[in-house]
Amino acid sequence: MEEPEKKIPVLCLGPKGSGKTTLMKKLQNAEGIDDTFSPVPTIGTNLYDIYYLNKHGKKQMLSIREIGGEMAPLWHNYLDGVEKVIYVVDTSNLCQISAAAVLLYTLLAEPRLKNAKFILVLSKMDAAYRQMRNEALLMLQFTRLSAELGNAPTLLEASPLTGEGIDKLKAFISDTKIGK
């Protein structure tokens, strides 16, 4: 008798090219994440085992499933048992943000995710101007989302290349509190 597929409580989603793979590799402390790193676009899914210290100082492991942006029409197949969603948006690509917003709203409206915690990761902040960040937030209607939703996403600015935001993302997935 086959064992059922293990449910992964954390998903990493976002449009194609938003920086999901690079972000996951950085969370794993992979070597070689720099300006020359160029991941292959994810076709299908990847599983990443992330290690962190829990609030008692014990080493813990958590699996995160990254699902390629090309698979957005199939994301709904992976939502059962999900407790957290890492949603990645490329702030340096304003042309993609409207599509990213539609995908995000679809996830936020999904009944199976009503109790899930969301973190909206504005990625590639090293490549984006602050004005682009502000425009991205406007296009995503982030202020309105925050005011109207009970499960409004936490906002995080990140750059896997510089390491900005990685500690806060680890804190989010591990439910630990860290200073600003």
* CATH number, domain containing residue 127: 3.40.50.300
- Check residue 3 and give its pLDDT: 45
Contacts for 147 with CB less than 8 Å, ≥ 6 apart = none
Structural domains counted in the chain: 1
Of the candidates 176, 158, 174, 119, the one whose C-alpha atom is nearest the C-alpha of residue 33 is: 158
The model carries a pTM of: 0.86
180 part of a folded domain: no
22 part of a folded domain: yes
Identify whether the C-beta of residue 160 lies closer than 8 Å to the C-beta of residue 48: no
79 part of a folded domain: yes
- The pair of structure tokens assigned to 3 is 């064992």
pLDDT per residue, tens digit, the chain (180 aa), is 444 455 679 999 999 988 898 899 888 876 555 555 556 667 788 899 888 777 788 888 889 999 999 999 999 999 999 999 999 998 888 888 888 999 999 999 999 999 999 999 998 877 666 667 888 888 889 998 888 887 789 999 988 778 889 889 988 988 754 433
Query: How far is C-alpha 124 from the chain's CA centre?
Result: 13
- Check residue 39 and give its pLDDT: 64
1 part of a folded domain: no
Query: Which residues lie across from 139 on neighbouring strands?
Result: none
53 part of a folded domain: yes
129 part of a folded domain: yes
Query: Which residues lie across from 49 on neighbouring strands?
Result: 63
Q: Structural domain of residue 106, as residue ranges?
A: 10-174
118 part of a folded domain: yes
179 part of a folded domain: no
